[in-house]
Structure 1
Amino acid sequence: MIDELLNTMTLEEQVSLLAGADFWTTVPVERLGVPKIKVSDGPNGARGAGSLVGGVKAACFPVAIALGASWNPALVERMGVALAGQAKSKGASVLLAPTVNIHRSGLNGRNFECYSEDPLLTAELAVAYIQGVQSQGVAATIKHFAGNESEIERQTMSSDIDERSLREIYLLPFEKAVKTARVMAVMSSYNRLNGTYTSEHPWLLTEVLRQDWGFDGIVMSDWFGSHSTAETVNAGLDLEMPGPTRDRGEKLVQAVKDGQVAPETVREAARRILTLLGRVGAFEQAPDLSEHALDLPEDRALIRRLGAEGAVLLKNDGILPLTKTSLEQIAVIGPNAAEARVMGGGSAQINAHYRVSPLEGIRAALSNANSIRHAAGCRNNRLTRVFAGELTVEYFAGTLCQGMPVATERSEKGEFFWFDLPHAALKLDDFSVRVTATFRAEESGEHVFGMTNAGLARLYLDGELVVNGDDGWTRGENYFGTANTELRTPVMLEAGRTYRLTVDYLSPPPKEEGITITALRFGLEKPLGDQAIEDAVAEAAASDVAVLFVGRDGEWDTEGLDLPDMRLPGRQEELIERVTAANPNTVVVLQTGGPVEMPWLDKVRGVLQVWYPGQELGHAVADLLFGDAEPGGRLPQTFPKQLADNSAITGDPAIYPGQNGHVRYAEGVFVGYRHHDSRGVEPLFPFGFGLGYTRFAWSEARASAKDMGADGITVEVDVTNIGDRRGSDVVQLYVKPLSSAIERPEKELRAFAKLELGAGETGTARLTIKPRDLSYFDVEARAFRAEAGDYDVLIAASATDIRSRIAIRNPAVWLAAASDRSI
């Protein structure tokens, strides 16, 4: 069928398939019955074609680092199945997920969106996710291929990575996704790799991906991430996104006529697009692109369970779980207590069906609501609190907010991200908006108005200009680096008085290169001062236990910018110090997208890391605090004692954050625990670490053989739950070479198994390793090489907790060419 279509298509029709029609759909060929399909952002939900801050509601699942902390591929596969259903509810046939870039540093803004610092753990979870999604006839899109481990200058930065490190660390999740999960789509990254944009990198897209690994799906650009015509097509980039095309269309037709691109190259790219349409069933039944909300009880239950599975208990001196019946007063304190921080920021955002805050979850779990005392203590938001209230939004043709509005909408939130406009007469590069609202000040005193805008904007209060986001506009750090840094202005307000707020927004001119965004965000807040901390201290002092909800939110953990450091923002560390001084029975619940420094660790009795676990946040946290669920997580990323202990943070800007358009991965394969092990740097909490509410006894490990053969070696460990409640444990297998011709990490994770056991129950972890698990990548031989000699198999509960050691031997050198299709 596909050959018949290709034979019938004109060159122009084949070319039309190789770029999007708009932001989210492909181009149909109506003459031949070729339908269009829709793609949707993931990875912790399926947003559909809506704005990043609105649109049809969708189920909000835990972010990827929380899934990484679960160490539970089977459960992640179930999530993939559920996400496929969510994608279908948005009319989408392709889900733009999972994200599998490696946690190189603790500062990457998208650290939360990636699974782990370890390529094997990342790969196993990605494979499970993809298999779940694709089992339902929806294509998964693994991203970002490759070297996108930072958000700093990501659209132009060159990640300079040697081939050994690429093959062993950064490419392995993609390789497994292709060879094991048969992923249908790959998304190229924005950055350059060793000087060449990944979207036009023939070694990456053709030699490695297609020739070495046998990938037969499509490669698409990240949005606005292609930069050329002939170069991208010849390198192996099939689909330019979004549309309408900038570099294909007539330009590509002419490139074929001029001999810069062979007709066969276009035909094969078009073949791959048509093959994808066939794989998602688009030829059998043209997709219904309409969108609706799908809120299923089974999805709610799965999200709640995933939240517990990924929560990591970092410290517990016996205070947890809390006993409901013995608590007369519990203080629920912190900036994340009454706020439901359910996801990170950027393109992973969705309009969640609902959000349960920790305070709401605790209230629902306790029969006596009067036993709960609450205080925020301080704020941790990076941007001014977004305006909430009834807003009138008027759209005008042209950029002057003049004449009659073309369209009028209502909104309840002062944030707008326009992919589409509400009327055909409006164009994204030539429209304006007037947003108006009235509000009543609740308190007297100094308030702060803040605004950030991609485009030009001015905010007025009762007709007086308060924030000028027009004159002198310069690019800053918001909206993927397309908006200005937030401008803030203090204003004195009077309690009880009604004010009229107006914002005029003018769309930005189109850009020839890079991302063009039309977005606006404005907010209003009364700063919290010393009294807020005093109030929190008083509530803590009057309670039996204080639970402190601290961390960050999606304004910090977001696409488009990296973190400035690994400290808790705002006055949160001060808040912890003051609360623990008032009540030593303090538990800290952390919400971050990665590691944080903990100078306060010795002063608290418990620390629970819950990441951003989705819409059931509050219920999942209450389950964990009161023992209705087990914290089943283990760290997927090392928590260093201080930022300088990270392998990428050396003080040399060429290594991080980058210099002169290049960031050099000088640490090579020594990322995460590989660095801490091999360089003797003691972590705060090691990779793979996590406590639980029960205890386990492990038997000595036993191996099926002492010599490595083609079928590998299977290691078994019996694990017994010797506690009095159900729980889970993770058995980790690391391989340690006893000698090597090259420098290698002290040990590397090669297999793992998670066991869930009832009280008194015994289970057996079975872990298989094969010759490649002993290998490193030999660049000169262009092959994975396992040297002959002795190795130790280490059975561990974390990177620093070795429980058993088995000596094995590789009797002869083993080589597998880079083009070997097995893994």
Structure 2
Amino acid sequence: MAKSKFKRIVLKLLKWFGIVVALILVILSIVVIVNLNYDKPSLYVSEENLQKEYANTDTKVMAKNLVAQMSLDEKIAQMYGEPYASGMAKLATNFLVKKRFAHIYVGENKRLGIPPWVLSDGPRGARVLGKDVKGVTTFPVGMARGASWNPDLEYRINQVIASEMRANKVNYAATPCINLLRHPGWGRAQETYGEDPWLLGEFGVAAVKGLEKHNIMACPKHFALNSIENSRWVVDVEVDERTLREVYLPHFKKTVQKGKPASIMSAYNAVNGEFCGSNKELLTHILRDDWGFEGFVTTDWLMGVYDGIKGVQAGLDVEMPFQQVYTQEVIQEGLDSGEISESDIDKIVTRSLSTRLKYALIDDQDNYPTSDIGKPSSIELAREAAEESMVLLKNEGILPFKNQEGKTIAVIGRLADLENTGDRGSSDSKPLYVETPFEGIQKHHQAQGNKVILDDGSDLERAKELAGNADEIVLVVGFTHEDEGEYIIFSREQMEEAAEAGKSLGKVTIGGDREDLSLLEQDEMLIKALHPMNDNLAVVYVGGSAIDMSTWEDDVPAILFSWYSGMEGGTALANILYGNANPSGKLPFSIAKNQKDYPPFTPYTKNFKYGYYHGYTLFDKKGTTPAYPFGFGLSYTNFTYDSLAVKTQEISMDDLLEVEVNVSNTGEVDGKEVVQLYIGFSNSTVDRPVKLLRGFKKVHLKAGETKKALLDVAAKDLAWYNPATENWEVESMTYELYIGSSSAKNDLLQSTFIVK
């Protein structure tokens, strides 16, 4: 009897358990379906929602009128992305089920007819994917494009990215990344353009203008001094005023004032004791009061601001992507205590509305059909970008490989046939396809009937035998998103613990900073094993920044930096290796002979001081010879410089220095050369770099052709920042002028001029 009763209880419990499980599954299914098929409201002011405020074309007046009609809760709803729970569910569901980045809608107010705006990351291609869109045109990473030294190319790339964002029903791009590379170990180095503020500024302006051309709100990031990844949520960067103004902010200033982006993204880290999301000195005094920025500021995604009241006080406009500290409770607490006022809230909401309404009033969505994604011209541009980006560092006469029949080519390395376009964090882009190095080389040789053999290099003896029997070896080495990139860890506490300990605590993470600049051990072993087997060996490096090649560079005859080269990287690589394209990339950073020659770098830290010198300015100041200088890159032809002329030897403080120089292609093939202009400050009364980049131009020259390159420099761009007067000052003195093919002294012609 007791057994029977027990059995009935068990059966009843199992029945109820089954019902509960079934209900949970039903609820989860509903959540998944709802979040995969979320509503996509229009981003534009529609006729049925048109209200009297929109009749006024002055969006500042429109915004002010609309804010006057809002309740406090409605105003707060303009200050964050989506509610935390529903927004996180949407984001997670789309990542896990569809492997896509969901649309996050911000600032919609149906009562007042205000449409939302929606963000996509996009440093190398549109991030958000619309319905039935399988992928997008994916370009080389930012560092590769910086190596092209071609801002016009960057402008065209961002036009394509913008048009594909529009086709995916997006109108805001969290790009470009213009943080300065102060140390090559920075995990997100691949997203930016290099180590020099002038180079960064020129590319930042080009990117913003390309995006804004298609009515995409551009958002340069991360403001400011973000160049340590593993401690990004907790590190406080100390910097003096001159270093801040002259080294870490000029590129942001130029991008803001010349590019005129709609928005700026604040950084996670603190600067001089205050986190960037609530740093009034950065967001208000410098960005708005000093530079005249009129757009709106958003946080970096997730935990981008830690104190909502301080955020309002500092002038932070929108918390992204979810509401975490800009809550009704926090704002009301600040209002009750008198720390903030409703007029502060009004100012924030009016600022963001007045900017984004400019875009909401232009309904040209029909101009961007999804059929335009991955157009032949866009794919051709991706290949062109990859070719112009690749930097030939060393070539003992073996490249380009000969195009002839009857050859056996060995493509070796664990990355040789890997679809490897860069990190998997916010800069990720889902390509329509990826052509690997092996696939590109194999396709190149199909017409000639040559044998192309793939080997991952895991069996050293087999790889050595293959190398010994092949006519030429392409050895692909480097990194993936597991080795470098955005540091993916979702616990601020864990990051803080590691920062306090000064080391990794062994938590499961993705990407992050590189503490050792050497290649992985298996790659170095492969290079050392294979180079004695064949003289026709080219090492192709895949990665986002500088590496230490000191243990093997003397052993190999050719080294090519191919970077993370995008969806057309394989074709571009084959074209470079076999001479269909002439390499024209130049290093956007310096490479040291010894890792100790770089400035200090600590990935796990709560406090760090940034100095005035880094990169080529540090090497110049210390008299240290780098392994490869900033701006260096070889070609399959030779270029010479002569007839340097300064048009006016003396200029005033308001003048433009005009310079010309003859550049000649003395070789037998057409090529492109990057003419670089530097200014020297040896006569300065204050501590200044030996020289600074102040201009560059990429010139195409046919074999045997000479062209006159014209460059100019504004006298105001020679200024230094005087903390005592809080002003930029140009010294009256004699300056040095350098023009040539790299920052190395031996590669530069020299002259002088005077500023009166």
Using structure 1 for the length normalisation, give the TM-score: 0.76
Amino acid at match of 1:626: Y
Instruction: Provide Cα deviations, 1:585-624, integer angstroms capped at 9, x if missing partner.
Output: 2111111111111121111111110111101110010110
Amino acid at match of 1:188: S
The answer to whether the aligner puts 1:805 opposite 2:732 as a matched pair is no
Amino acid at match of 1:62: P
The 5-angstrom pairing of residues 92-111 of structure 1 reads 92-111=170-189
Residue 425 (structure 2) aligns with: 346
Shift in Å, 1:208: 0.1
Mapped to 2, the partners of 1:218 and 1:580 lie a distance apart of 54
Residue 723 (structure 2) aligns with: 779
The answer for unaligned runs of 5 or more in structure 1 is 379-531, 650-655, 812-823
Relative to structure 1, the CA distance from residue 337 to residue 657 in structure 2 (aligned partners, 3 Å threshold; closer, same or farther) is closer
Aligned residues: 647
Mapped to 1, the partners of 2:486 and 2:361 lie a distance apart of 32
Residue 329 (structure 1) aligns with: 408
SS at match of 1:701: strand
Q: 1:625 aligns with which of 564, 577, 591?
A: 577
Instruction: Provide Cα deviations, 1:388-428, integer angstroms capped at 9, x if missing partner.
Output: xxxxxxxxxxxxxxxxxxxxxxxxxxxxxxxxxxxxxxxxx
Residue 387 (structure 1) aligns with: none
Residue 286 (structure 2) aligns with: 208
Residue 9 (structure 1) aligns with: 70
Relative to structure 1, the CA distance from residue 643 to residue 587 in structure 2 (aligned partners, 3 Å threshold; closer, same or farther) is same
Q: 1:364 aligns with which of 443, 456, 459?
A: 443
The answer to whether the aligner puts 1:68 opposite 2:146 as a matched pair is yes
Q: 1:183 aligns with which of 261, 281, 286?
A: 261
Mapped to 1, the partners of 2:143 and 2:543 lie a distance apart of 10
The answer to whether the aligner puts 1:541 opposite 2:468 as a matched pair is yes
Shift in Å, 1:346: 1.6
Mapped to 2, the partners of 1:189 and 1:642 lie a distance apart of 31
The answer to whether the aligner puts 1:571 opposite 2:522 as a matched pair is yes
Amino acid at match of 1:536: A
The answer to whether the aligner puts 1:232 opposite 2:305 as a matched pair is no
Residues 130 and 169 of structure 2 are in contact (CA less than 8 Å); yes or no, is this contact kept in structure 1?
A: no
Amino acid at match of 1:350: S
SS at match of 1:232: helix
Instruction: Provide Cα deviations, 1:337-374, integer angstroms capped at 9, x if missing partner.
Output: 11132223321112211010111101111124552122
> Greater strand percent: which structure?
1
Residue 43 (structure 1) aligns with: 123
Residue 274 (structure 1) aligns with: 353
Mapped to 2, the partners of 1:284 and 1:9 lie a distance apart of 25
Shift in Å, 1:688: 0.3
Mapped to 2, the partners of 1:289 and 1:27 lie a distance apart of 23
Amino acid at match of 2:636: Y
Mapped to 1, the partners of 2:198 and 2:684 lie a distance apart of 21
Relative to structure 1, the CA distance from residue 71 to residue 283 in structure 2 (aligned partners, 3 Å threshold; closer, same or farther) is closer
Between 1:746-755 and 1:332-341, the stretch displaced more is 332-341
Mapped to 1, the partners of 2:167 and 2:335 lie a distance apart of 39
Mapped to 2, the partners of 1:275 and 1:546 lie a distance apart of 58
Between 1:77-86 and 1:359-368, the stretch displaced more is 359-368
The answer to whether the aligner puts 1:260 opposite 2:335 as a matched pair is no
Residue 664 (structure 1) aligns with: 609
The 5-angstrom pairing of residues 290-439 of structure 1 reads 294-325=373-404, 328-366=407-445, 367-368=447-448, 370-378=450-458
Shift in Å, 1:50: 8.5
Residues 90 and 292 of structure 1 are in contact (CA less than 8 Å); yes or no, is this contact kept in structure 2?
A: no
Relative to structure 1, the CA distance from residue 162 to residue 50 in structure 2 (aligned partners, 3 Å threshold; closer, same or farther) is farther
The answer to whether the aligner puts 1:28 opposite 2:108 as a matched pair is yes
Residue 462 (structure 1) aligns with: none
Mapped to 1, the partners of 2:520 and 2:646 lie a distance apart of 48
SS at match of 2:453: strand
Instruction: Provide Cα deviations, 1:674-701, integer angstroms capped at 9, x if missing partner.
Output: 0111101111100000001112222221
SS at match of 1:808: strand
Shift in Å, 1:553: 1.2
Shift in Å, 1:91: 1.4
Relative to structure 1, the CA distance from residue 230 to residue 683 in structure 2 (aligned partners, 3 Å threshold; closer, same or farther) is same
Residues 700 and 804 of structure 1 are in contact (CA less than 8 Å); yes or no, is this contact kept in structure 2?
A: no
Relative to structure 1, the CA distance from residue 192 to residue 322 in structure 2 (aligned partners, 3 Å threshold; closer, same or farther) is same
Instruction: Provide Cα deviations, 1:26-74, integer angstroms capped at 9, x if missing partner.
Output: 03110010011110012111111699xx984222111010011000001
Residue 693 (structure 2) aligns with: 749
Shift in Å, 1:538: 0.9
Q: 1:113 aligns with which of 191, 195, 214?
A: 191
Q: CA RMSD in A?
A: 2.1
Amino acid at match of 2:689: P
Amino acid at match of 1:736: G
Residues 340 and 617 of structure 1 are in contact (CA less than 8 Å); yes or no, is this contact kept in structure 2?
A: no
Mapped to 2, the partners of 1:695 and 1:306 lie a distance apart of 22
Amino acid at match of 1:121: L
The answer to whether the aligner puts 1:144 opposite 2:222 as a matched pair is yes
Mapped to 2, the partners of 1:364 and 1:285 lie a distance apart of 40
Mapped to 2, the partners of 1:728 and 1:642 lie a distance apart of 31
Residues 137 and 281 of structure 1 are in contact (CA less than 8 Å); yes or no, is this contact kept in structure 2?
A: no
SS at match of 2:320: coil
The 5-angstrom pairing of residues 323-722 of structure 1 reads 323-325=402-404, 328-366=407-445, 367-368=447-448, 370-378=450-458, 532-560=459-487, 561-598=512-549, 599-649=551-601, 656-657=602-603, 659=605, 661-665=606-610, 668-709=611-652, 710-722=654-666
Mapped to 2, the partners of 1:713 and 1:177 lie a distance apart of 22
Shift in Å, 1:325: 0.6
Shift in Å, 1:245: 4.5
SS at match of 1:6: helix
The answer to whether the aligner puts 1:765 opposite 2:692 as a matched pair is no
Residues 363 and 369 of structure 1 are in contact (CA less than 8 Å); yes or no, is this contact kept in structure 2?
A: no
Mapped to 2, the partners of 1:267 and 1:80 lie a distance apart of 33
Residue 463 (structure 1) aligns with: none
Shift in Å, 1:779: 1.0
Using structure 2 for the length normalisation, give the TM-score: 0.83
The answer for unaligned runs of 5 or more in structure 2 is 1-61, 92-103, 488-511
Amino acid at match of 1:623: N
Mapped to 1, the partners of 2:517 and 2:237 lie a distance apart of 22
SS at match of 2:516: coil
SS at match of 2:659: strand
Amino acid at match of 1:265: D
Relative to structure 1, the CA distance from residue 11 to residue 56 in structure 2 (aligned partners, 3 Å threshold; closer, same or farther) is farther
Give every structure 1 segment of 4 or more consecutive aligned residues whose post-TM-superposition deviation is greater than 4 Å. 282-293
Amino acid at match of 2:743: A
